[in-house]
A and B are shown apart, each in its own frame.
Chain A
Amino acid sequence: MLRLTDVSFFIGILPAVAAVALLLLMVVVAPTLRWRRWRYEIRPDEVDLQRGILWISRTLVPLARIQHVDTRSGPLQRRFGLATVVFYTAAGANQIPELSAPVAAGVRDRIAALTRFQDEL
Chain B
Amino acid sequence: MNSEAGPPSGDPGGTPEGTSIDKPSRRLHPAAMLIGALRTVRRWVGALVIPGGAFLASQGFGVRTIIFALAGVIVVAALAAVWGFLSWRATTYVVWGGAFHLRQGVVQKNERTIPLDHVQSVDTVQGVIQRLFGVVEVRVETAGGGGNDPDASLSALSRDAAGTLRREIESSRREPAGTEEEEEAGPDVVRKLATRELLIAGATSGQIGVALSLVAVVSQLFDEFFSEAFVERVVSSFAPRSVTAVLLFAAALGLFAWLLAIAGTVLAHAGFTLSRDGDYLYIRRGLLERREATIPLSRIQAVRVVEGVLRQPFGLAALRVESAGYGENAGVSTVLFPLLPRREVDEFLRAAAPEFAGEPSLERLPSRALRRYVFRAILSAAPLVVVVAAVAVFGLYAGLPVPGCGAGGCGFGTVSLFASEVPVGALLAPLLFVLAGFYGWLQFRDAGWMLSGGRLVARSRILARITTIAPGRRLQSRSVVSSPFQRRLRLATLQARVASGGGGAEVRVVDLGSDAARSLVERLGPVSYP
- Find chain A residues with CB under 8 A from B500 CB: 91
A65 to B497, alpha carbons, bound, how many Å?
11
**What bracket does the count of chain A residues touching chain B fall in?**
20 to 34
CB distance from B123 to the nearest CB of A (A): 19
- Check A62–B483 contact: CB distance below 8 A: no
Report the minimum CB–CB distance from A117 to chain B (whole Å): 13
Chain B residues contacting A52 (CB-CB under 8 Å) are 481
A45→B476 CA distance, assembly (Å)? 13
**Cβ-based interface call for A46 (8 A):** yes
A92 & B497 in contact (Cβ 8 Å cutoff)? yes
B503 part of interface (Cβ distance < 8 Å): yes
Q: Is residue B484 within 8 Å, beta carbon to beta carbon, of the partner chain?
A: yes
Q: Mark B305-332, 1 if CB is under 8 A from A, else 0.
A: 0000000000000000000110000000
Which residue of chain B has the shortest Cβ distance to A52 in the bound complex?
A: B481
Q: Roughly how many angstroms separate A55 CA and B527 CA in the complex, as a whole number?
A: 28
* A1-44 residues at the B interface, CB under 8 angstroms: none
Contact with B along A57-83 (1 / 0, CB 8 A): 111111111000000000000000000
- Whether the Cβ atoms of A56 and B481 lie closer than 8 Å is yes
Judge whether B476 and A89 touch: CB under 8 Å: yes
A46 contacts across to B, CB distance below 8 A: 525-526
- Residues of chain A within 8 A (CB-CB) of B466 are none
From the candidates B143, B476, B482, B484, name the one contacting A91 in the complex (CB within 8 A): B476
With contact pairs A90-B324, A91-B476, A91-B505 given, residues A62 and B497 touching in the complex (Cβ less than 8 Å)? no
- Asked whether B267 is an interface residue with its Cβ less than 8 Å from the other chain, the reply is no
CB-nearest residue of chain B to A49? B479
Q: Does A121 contact B (CB under 8 A)?
A: yes
Taking the closest CB of chain B, its distance from the CB of A6, in whole angstroms, is 35
B504 lies within 8 A of chain A by Cβ: yes
Centre residue among A59, A64, A90, A94 by max chain B CB count within 10 A: A90
Q: Does B498 contact A (CB under 8 A)?
A: yes
- Choose among B299, B477, B487 the residue that contacts A60 (Cβ–Cβ < 8 A): B477
Instruction: Say whether A58 contacts B480, CB under 8 Å.
Output: yes
Question: Of A56, A63, A64, A94, which is within 8 A of B482 by CB?
Answer: A56
Contacts of A59 in B (CB 8 A): 477-479
**Chain A residues near B325 (CB-CB < 8 A):** 90, 121
Q: Give chain A residues whose Cβ lies under 8 Å from the Cβ of B143.
A: 121
Interchain CB contact (< 8 A) of A57 among B479, B524, B526, B527 = B479
Interface residue A113 (Cβ < 8 Å from any Cβ of B): no
Chain B residues lying within 8 Å of A58, measured Cβ to Cβ, are 479-481, 521
> Interface centre among B299, B480, B505, by most A CB within 10 Å?
B480
Please report the C-alpha to C-alpha distance between residue A118 and residue B324 in the assembled complex, in whole angstroms: 16
Q: Which of A54, A56, A89, A121 contacts B497 (CB 8 A)?
A: A89
**CB pair A92 B526 closer than 8 Å:** no
Residues of chain B from 61 to 114 with CB closer than 8 A to chain A in the complex: none
Closest residue of chain B to A90 (Cβ to Cβ) is B499
Give Cα distance in the complex from A91 to B504, angstroms: 4
| Cα–Cα distance between A65 and B487 once the two chains are bound (Å) | 30
Contact present for A92 and B479 (CB under 8 Å): no
Do B499 and A45 touch (CB < 8 A)? no
CB closest chain-A residue, reference B299? A121
CB distance from A60 to the nearest CB of B (A): 6
Q: What's the least CB distance linking B85 to chain A, in Å?
A: 42
Q: Beta-carbon contacts of B444-487 to A below 8 Å, as 1s and 0s?
A: 00000000000000000000000000000001111111111001
Q: Is the CB of B480 within 8 A of A57?
A: yes
A52 CA / B486 CA spacing, docked (Å): 14
User: Given A62-B525, A91-B476, A121-B299, A57–B499 Cβ distance below 8 Å?
Assistant: no
Q: Is the CB of B525 within 8 A of A92?
A: no
- CB-CB under 8 A from A92, the residues of chain B are 476, 497, 503-504
CB neighbours (8 Å) of B503 from chain A are 91-92
For the complex formed, measure the closest distance between the CB of B323 and the CB atoms of chain A, giving whole angstroms: 10
Distance between B393 CB and nearest chain A CB, rounded to angstroms = 36
Inter-chain CA distance A55–B499, complex, in Å, is 25
Contact mask B498-515 → A, CB, 8 Å, 1/0? 111001110000000000
- B525 near A90 with CB under 8 A, answer no
A58 to B479 Cα, complex, angstroms: 5
Contact residues in A for B478 (Cβ distance below 8 Å):
59-60
A18 CB, nearest partner CB in chain B, Å: 22
Q: Are A90 and B476 neighbours in the complex by a CB distance under 8 Å?
A: yes
Residues of B within 8 Å of A56, CB to CB, are 481-482, 487
How far apart are the CA atoms of A91 and B527 in the complex, in Å? 21
Q: Are B483 and A54 in contact (CB under 8 A)?
A: yes
* Distance A62 CA – B471 CA, assembled complex (angstroms): 14
Please, which residues of chain B bring their CB within 8 A of the CB of A64? 526
Contact A61 B481 (CB under 8 A): no
A3 to B261, CA, bound (A): 66
Contact B498 A91 (CB under 8 A): yes
Give the distance in Å from the alpha carbon of A121 to the alpha carbon of B497 in the complex. 13
Please name the residue on chain B nearest to A47 by beta carbon: B477
| Residues of B that sit less than 8 Å from A by CB | 143, 299, 324-325, 475-484, 487, 497-500, 503-505, 521, 524-527
User: Top 6 closest A-B pairs, CB basis?
Assistant: A91-B504, A90-B499, A91-B476, A91-B497, A89-B476, A59-B479
**Interface contacts beyond A55-B481, A91-B500: sample of 11 additional A-B pairs, CB < 8 Å, sorted by A:** A45-B525, A46-B526, A57-B482, A58-B481, A60-B477, A60-B521, A60-B525, A62-B475, A89-B476, A89-B497, A91-B505
Q: List 12 A-B contacts (CB under 8 A).
A: A54-B483, A56-B482, A56-B487, A59-B479, A65-B476, A89-B476, A89-B497, A90-B325, A90-B476, A90-B499, A90-B504, A91-B504
